Structure 1
């Protein structure tokens, strides 16, 4: 991919560069995302993207060779923002309360997905979802696995196969959220609580020995 910012003169003749390259790139991607959401990827042209972003067409091709490349960049940005949103929620928890951290991870995943599923559906094609080397899935799964391992090391629960449990929770949360999106449910709180309860059953708690 060729969407990393590079220093270069302004492509608009006589127009001084007033924004950092990273800002211009982000605005270009945001313009594409907005158009993709409103009229679809296939119906959107590069000309419409650059017009909406108020940049020269050469600016687009400086960063991207095609709409497919900007979709890949949008997918990466979507994952980064998704992870940041979930991590911010987790960081508000007590560092040693692993059950709370898991519940918050689940709630934040559900809430963020419900809010952003339209962008999710655009940037992640059917092929991407069945890609067994899906980097976005791996990043979110690692975030979950860190919580499960933390609880295991703290003696809270004792899963025999932490990664398998993480995979089941990840897939279950994603699938359950698809269900409430389809039913147009807007209040995620009670739903997330129920999903959390179900997921915690997959993590057998360590019982203190009787005295």
Structure 2
């Protein structure tokens, strides 16, 4: 645990990030929480007043959590789209679909808190458009010949919808393995170019 002296030396950005990290941990844990601000500051080992230095409300904190979660996905899709080296596109697509399914299906409140609440309606920076980032990665996979040419934006939206449905179904008790196999099969039947099966 950091000492209060080392905490005073944290930059404002680092301290704000500590609070966001703490909120993510709590949301992912699935704990019953009655006072989120108090729980987050305790998890971050900060004074309650510190929360209000960086966030005016719990809802504003949830927007920051949403942006952090989406940034992780967007950055990974952009890295794929901008990669200059060879990419195993099917392995990458399988991994990203599984990561999305697991995030949605994970017990806890992060998915509901950031995608099924009023926070989902809060304005979002264009840089965090997950569908556009996924479409860019698919477009690059098409240019590499790994995927057949389809409308990448529509393909990205359909994949996101399927992943979301799978995550919700798994959260409700359905079999994760069957869902991931089905997503894999669907993607290959739909996106594989003519030729040997992947």
Unaligned runs of 5+ in 2: none
- Counterpart of 2:161 in structure 1 is 171
Measure, in 1, the Cα distance between the counterparts of 2:48 and 2:35.
14
Instruction: Spell out the pairing of 1:21-32 with structure 2 (5 A cutoff).
Output: 21-32=12-23
TM-score by length of 1: 0.66
- Structure showing greater radius of gyration is 1
Unaligned runs of 5+ in 1: 1-11
Measure, in 1, the Cα distance between the counterparts of 2:79 and 2:19.
26
CA 1:128 to 1:72, structure 2 compared with 1: closer, same or farther past 3 Å? closer
Deviation at 1:195, TM superposition (A): 0.9
- Counterpart of 1:79 in structure 2 is 70
- Counterpart of 2:183 in structure 1 is 195
Is 1:149 matched up with 2:139?
yes
Higher RCO by CA contacts (8 Å cutoff, separation 6 or greater): 2
Deviation at 1:198, TM superposition (A): 0.9
Instruction: Give the count of matched residue pairs.
Output: 189
- Counterpart of 1:158 in structure 2 is 148
Deviation at 1:15, TM superposition (A): 9.4
Measure, in 2, the Cα distance between the counterparts of 1:157 and 1:85.
18
TM-score by length of 2: 0.70
- Counterpart of 1:97 in structure 2 is 88
Which string of whole-angstrom CA distances, capped at 9 and with x for unpartnered residues, describes residues 159-194 of structure 1? 342211221111111112211111164xx4553232
Please state which structure has a larger fraction of its residues in helix.
2
Give 3-state SS (helix, strand or coil) of 1:39's partner.
Answer: coil
Which string of whole-angstrom CA distances, capped at 9 and with x for unpartnered residues, describes residues 54-103 of structure 1? 4334422221112221111121122234556788999xxx8243333322
Is 1:39 matched up with 2:32?
yes
Answer whether contact 1:82 1:112 (CA < 8 A) is retained. no
Which string of whole-angstrom CA distances, capped at 9 and with x for unpartnered residues, describes residues 13-55 of structure 1? x998243433322333344455664234xx3164554455443
Answer whether contact 1:50 1:60 (CA < 8 A) is retained. yes
